[in-house]
Amino acid sequence: MSHMISHSRRLRDTPFTPGVEAAGVKGYTVYNRMLLPTVFESVEADYHHLKTHVQVWDVAVERQIELNGPDASRLMQMLTPRDLSRMQDDQCYYVPVTDQRGGMLNDPVAVKHSDTRWWISIADSDLLLWVKGLAIGAGLNVEVFEPDVSPLAVQGPKAEALMERMFGSAVHDIRFFRQKRLPFASTSFVVARSGYSKQGGFEIYVEGTRHGMALWEALFKAGEDLNVRAGCPNLIERIEGGLLSYGNDMTAENTPLECGLGKFCCPAEGIDFIGRDALAAELASGPARQIRAISIPGEPVIPPRTAWLLFKDGLRAGQVTSAAWSPDFATNVAIGMVEAGHWQDGTELTVETPQGARLARVQERFWA
Amino acid sequence: MSHMISHSRRLRDTPFTPGVEAAGVKGYTVYNRMLLPTVFESVEADYHHLKTHVQVWDVAVERQIELNGPDASRLMQMLTPRDLSRMQDDQCYYVPVTDQRGGMLNDPVAVKHSDTRWWISIADSDLLLWVKGLAIGAGLNVEVFEPDVSPLAVQGPKAEALMERMFGSAVHDIRFFRQKRLPFASTSFVVARSGYSKQGGFEIYVEGTRHGMALWEALFKAGEDLNVRAGCPNLIERIEGGLLSYGNDMTAENTPLECGLGKFCCPAEGIDFIGRDALAAELASGPARQIRAISIPGEPVIPPRTAWLLFKDGLRAGQVTSAAWSPDFATNVAIGMVEAGHWQDGTELTVETPQGARLARVQERFWA
């Protein structure tokens, strides 16, 4: 079923919206109360292009939370089970953020500028309110606010070539999940080697809405012969790569261990954070369910808009939350949360789709 | 420009979505990460029907935050400048929620069940994270969570007749912004005389997703000869009535005084809440800008998707954030934030719309 999106100020445009719409965006989702493009030519055509060339993505919806002040690092560590004590000033960390029960409130990327200044590049929840509420409730000495920063991603096999033309050879020195401030026109931007695809690339943290379209246009001009196009996070490619989507594949009902993020959880090392006791208990008992790659062989499915239930011999065994037909792997690729006892590689389950029951096979690994 | 909305689990369906889609919903917006219908027949046809008959609205997006425990009332008062000390157990209060700078984080309705149990029926921001963060940061003894409650509104001149058929004559005894628990089938629901229109009506707080479609269908069956239809908050009608939309007409950048909510702000009476000092300072100096009704005479405008700037003699004088053609008042009705010095009744300003500059006249009062 196809529905129109009703535009209003509440569904915020981004600094790049004029470029996105001139490029012929066909669909949007809403993410952090802001427009996120979902399709340009078609999800499949966008997918093939992303894997072959280079795309510029409006990911301004990755809003930033700035923590600025003497207690910034203390507050940042309160938010996450991941040990931040050895993090360097140019590093970016993927950090699960947990509540007191160990439920995931967001799965952002923390960008460290210094011990007294951090950005949190957030997934789809108003994490600003959580961080501000904690800071005020606990009386910490830190400013917490949303700065005028809008990430623009450059993704795909030719991303490095395009970025070199734009920012010079300094881009080659940026290692994975590291960042560096590089000049652009009369200003400069934080540039990180990161992004929500497995095709390689960068995210440019555009500070100042007024610079948005200048950068957008400069990238398209510089990349003309690289076949650069406007793109967006691609449903098929991100499932193949096992990139989780907060709100789809996990919610506040799930813990980092359930999300397969155990390697970022180190409550035994004396780190103090919210949810520590709950996580310690879960580490002792093991998670009750876990994220898995799931293949659904046969005809292409229509991607889910609600969770599809998984069954084993008629009993609940979990749910599938993201699924799409993969042209490259010639199967439906999916992400699901599978109950303990059923998550071994090769386990065959039944998934209830709106178009009927289908075979669902649990896999050890994602596709890419 | 018309764009498709891309459905996914992250844009949550509601308990009433099957009914909404069977009724032929054409457009959606996203509100609290959930689908909110925006148009069935057309915005104008829906408007005329709402003012003449009775509509059933899926407003499950008004998510509830439950505060439950010994410190519930203390926490509730921390959230808002409105004095809650004399509130009775069956009352609903419209409560601006402010941050430490006096910025509006939400404009929800607080539903009091008892001194130790409250619901907050929220506008479009994850207020749950703010309330939980404060409670944990301050070490309060209270549970804060989103219960499985989804409001369904019955609005329009025939709402009372339909509700009597559904719940009996007890509905007549519910006064404006009061609530009462009334039986339905094997369960019971909190029913309040409230809603996001000026046509009169009720909101039914449906506890338990499984009861959603049973109530939906019962209302349509009972109201057949009342010409009951599926509807939704109507852009034209809510502007005529001066009903503000959080995220459209005000954001965290605005204070309750700017939003014309001064009557709900009483920091002098010894009430302690977050933002008290900022609000006291603003009460002394007066707000820098204020919400106003604005008429834009002449041809119908296309409703804004970003703020339209207001000018007086070439200088910034505010912005228009909601606007639509009103068939009943034969003018464009609008809501704007007007800078001090320009908000007197009858002031003539210029508004920059994407289709060109137009005359904008400030009004003392809204239309309905």
CA distance B284 to chain A (A): 24
Mean pLDDT of chain B: 96
**CA nearest to B305 within chain A:** A8
Q: Alpha-carbon distance A6 to A33, whole Å?
A: 13
**CA nearest to A135 within chain B:** B137
Q: Provide the total of helices (H) and of strands (E) in chain A, helices listed first.
A: 8, 22
At residue B90, the 3 state secondary structure works out as coil
pLDDT of residue B83: 93
Question: What is the CATH topology of the domain spanning A64-145?
Answer: Alpha-Beta Plaits (3.30.70)
User: What angle is formed at CA A50 by the lines to CA A45 and CA A52, rounded to 5 degrees?
Assistant: 100
Q: Is the Cβ pair B306, A138 closer than 8 Å?
A: no
Most B CBs within 10 Å: which of A1, A2, A4, as the mutation test of the B interface? A4
Query: pTM of the predicted model, to two decimals?
Result: 0.97
Residue B305 has pLDDT above 90, yes or no: yes
Contacts of B7 in chain A (CB under 8 A): 1, 3, 305
CATH class of A288-368: mainly beta
The model's confidence at residue B268, banded by pLDDT at 50, 70 and 90, is low
pLDDT of residue A268: 61
Q: Is the Cβ pair A4, B13 closer than 8 Å?
A: no
CA distance A212 to chain B (A): 17
End-to-end CA distance of chain B: 31
ipTM score of complex: 0.96
A26 vs B4, B8, B135: nearest CB: B4
In this predicted model, what pLDDT tens digit does every residue of B73-114 receive, in sequence order?
999 999 999 999 999 999 999 999 999 999 999 999 999 999
Most A CBs within 10 Å: which of B3, B25, B145, B353, as the mutation test of the A interface? B3
Identify the residue whose tokens are 């007066």: B286
pLDDT of residue B319: 98
Contacts of A105 in chain B (CB under 8 A): 129
Domain range summary for chain A, segments of one domain joined by +: 17-62+148-239, 64-145, 288-368
Q: Which amino acid is at A346?
A: G
Enumerate residue ranges in chain A where pLDDT < 50: none
Question: What letter would DSSP give residue A119?
Answer: E
Q: Token pair for residue A179?
A: 């960042």
Q: What is the mean predicted confidence (pLDDT) over B144-158?
A: 98
Q: Alpha-carbon distance A271 to B145, whole Å?
A: 26
User: Which CATH number is correct for B64-133, 3.30.70.1400, 3.90.230.10, 3.10.20.740, 3.40.50.2300?
Assistant: 3.30.70.1400
pLDDT of residue A270: 75
A4 vs B5, B30, B100: nearest CB: B5
Q: Is the Cβ pair A28, B3 closer than 8 Å?
A: yes
Q: Is the Cβ pair B6, A21 closer than 8 Å?
A: no
**Shortest CA distance to A211 belongs to which of A297, A128, A285, A152?**
A152
Q: Is the Cβ pair B137, A132 closer than 8 Å?
A: no
DSSP string, B164-201: HHHH-GGGGG--BTBEEEEEETTEEEEEEB--SSSS-E
Q: Token pair for residue B235?
A: 């852009």
CA distance B283 to chain A (A): 23
pLDDT of residue A272: 86
pLDDT of residue B149: 98
C-alpha dist (Å) from residue B86 to B62, B91, B112: 25, 10, 11
CATH of the domain spanning A17-62+148-239:
3.30.1360.120
In this predicted model, what pLDDT tens digit does every residue of A314-351 receive, in sequence order?
999 999 999 999 999 999 999 999 999 999 999 999 99
Question: What letter would DSSP give residue A12?
Answer: B
Contacts of A125 in chain B (CB under 8 A): 33, 126, 129
Q: Which residues contact B93 (CB under 8 A, 6 or more apart)?
A: B82, B84, B87, B109, B110, B112, B177
Say yes or no: do domains B17-62+148-239 and B64-133 share a fold. no
